[in-house]
Amino acid sequence: MTVHTTSPQFKKNAAQALGDAQLQKALGNVKQGFIDKRVKAAEKLPEFEALRDSARDIKDHTLRHLDLYLETYEDKVKASGGHVHFARNAEEARSIILGICREAGARTVTKGKSMISEEIGINHHLEAHGIVPVETDLGEYIIQLRNELPSHIIAPAVHLNATQVEQDFRRVHTHLDAKRDLSEPVQLLTEARAVLRERFLAADVGITGANFLVAETGTSVIVTNEGNGDLTQILPKTHIVLASIEKLVPTLEDVSQILRVLARSATGQELSVYTTFSTGPRRPGDADGPENYHVVILDNGRSSMLGTSFEEMLRCIRCGACMNHCPVYHAVGGHAYGWVYPGPMGAVLTPTLIGVDKAGHLPNASTFCGRCESVCPVRIPLPKLMRHWREREFERHLSPATVRSGIKTWGFFAKRPALYRLATRAAMGALGLAGRGKGRFAWLPLAKGWTKYRDFPAPQGETFQARWRRERKGRAA
């Protein structure tokens, strides 16, 4: 179990989120930007749907043989001169990483973007032991300055606007001219580039995540647009790769299949700018690159998901499409989910990682509209998995009586989709009228657990499903 839970903050964050006009505006960027870009990218590749099937099948095959692919991978890394460490949980991973950093005599550690490193809370651990961790992905750097968690798995600072970033830079970069002009986003980028360039060159250890681990060759793969992950791993003497067990894929061909759906689903790019395949440390004759190469493989509850209905969640390639298309995420943003992983994938994953007692409310943060599943590149049935959690929670009688009867009612409709659409349309119409003007409800029948800590956004007078269809039609016309 991790110690990095922020459930107490969750309540505060969520309440603030819904009343926060700035945040609501920022969330508009998610809705507009990502959705259109993904549609365009998918349309440009006729094989996109077939590739999604292929990606799903590769992940399923690997998970069914995970022990064997892990073994092969481990042997290959060792053969290329690297080291492999296994960590059952966050605490073990933290102490392995601290040990490697100490051995390297590290004072500063640069970091590429890694959700696993958020999951194990490595930054606080290093800091507590006198080592300075420096996030180098621009979004991660900004939220590190603010001591926040990422609010999106691929756009960590999507909840902020440029003025807020400017204020943070002025607060922290005090060695720079106080009168400098930072009114344009490009000036902020240039400043961060210069500040972080110094940190890159001074770092003793670089920590990156891995999008994939290739069994065939013992290779770790990272995907970035900024190039920060590469500077993190080629400049310091020691490179640590932090990855969870489900990142395994069999071959270079398999990784190439999945890469064809990853960037398209995430940002609508053909491919991210930098896809980097790293195998072991610097070779004889090499002029640059790390002298030591370590891989820390984290389980943290994942091996227990195999063989259960949640096994499918282990296919996730962290593209962010499910949150980009989620009406609940659009309304409350990522911080409201209270831990590292937001949106539909977070709603399924978080209860398995930190416990259903702490995160049991997350699977309820869904309208069950099904958009997440329809865009997920590896076809994870997210609504079904959220429903599993609800049922489990229900069976365990964790829910108060009102929620139980609410779910029963909902369950009745869920099995009758046409009726559900009709009923929700009627209800949404009514709620839309009742909530007009304020745009939020502080209280809703059957939803006390939800509205106790956050207002429920008032529907716009139609269901998400209806609106989706209308807007799709509008675009097609």
Q: Is 316 in the site for ligand SF4 (CB under 6 A)?
A: yes
Q: Is 256 in the site for other proteins (CB under 8 A)?
A: yes
Site string for ligand SF4, 375-394 (x = CB under 6 A): -xxx-x-x------------
Q: Is 291 in the site for other proteins (CB under 8 A)?
A: no
**With respect to other proteins, which residue has the nearer C-beta, 110 or 366?**
110
Q: Is 428 in the site for ligand SF4 (CB under 6 A)?
A: no
Report what 320 binds from other proteins, ligand SF4, none; CB cut-off 5-8 Å by kind: ligand SF4
**With respect to other proteins, which residue has the nearer C-beta, 186 or 476?**
186
Residues 310-369 that bind other proteins (CB under 8 A): none
Residue choice 18, 35, 70, 407 for contact with other proteins (CB under 8 A) = 70
Q: Is 295 in the site for ligand SF4 (CB under 6 A)?
A: no
From 7-15, 125-133, 188-196, 328-336, span contacting other proteins (CB under 8 A): 188-196
SS3 string, the chain, reads: CCCCCCHHHHHHHHHHHHHCHHHHHHHHHHHHHHHHHHHHHHHCCCCHHHHHHHHHHHHHHHHHCHHHHHHHHHHHHHHCCCEEEEECCHHHHHHHHHHHHHHCCCCEEEECCCHHHHHHCHHHHHHHCCCEEEECCHHHHHHHHCCCCCCCCCCCCCCCCHHHHHHHHHHHCCCCCCCCCCCCHHHHHHHHHHHHHHHHHHCCEEEECCCEEECCCCEEEEEECCCHHHHHHHCCCEEEEEEEHHHEECCHHHHHHHHHHHHHHHCCCCCCCEEEEECCCCCCCCCCCCCEEEEEEECCCCCCCCCCHHHHHHHCCCCCHHHHCCHHHHHHCCHHHCCCCCHHHHHHHHHHHHCHHHHCCHHHCCCCCCHHHHHCCCCCCHHHHHHHHHHHHHHCCCCCHHHHHHHHHHHHHHCCHHHHHHHHHHHHHHHHHHHCCCCEECCCCCCHHHHCCCCEECCCCCCHHHHHHHHHHHHHC
Residue choice 2, 24, 123, 219 for contact with other proteins (CB under 8 A) = 219
Q: How far is the CB of 316 from ligand SF4 (least distance, A)?
A: 3
Residue choice 192, 222, 321, 386 for contact with ligand SF4 (CB under 6 A) = 321
From 247-255, 341-349, 409-417, 437-445, span contacting other proteins (CB under 8 A): 247-255
Residue choice 39, 115, 234, 414 for contact with other proteins (CB under 8 A) = 234
Q: How far is the CB of 364 from ligand SF4 (least distance, A)?
A: 18
List residues near ligand SF4 by CB under 6 A: 316-322, 345, 376-378, 380, 382
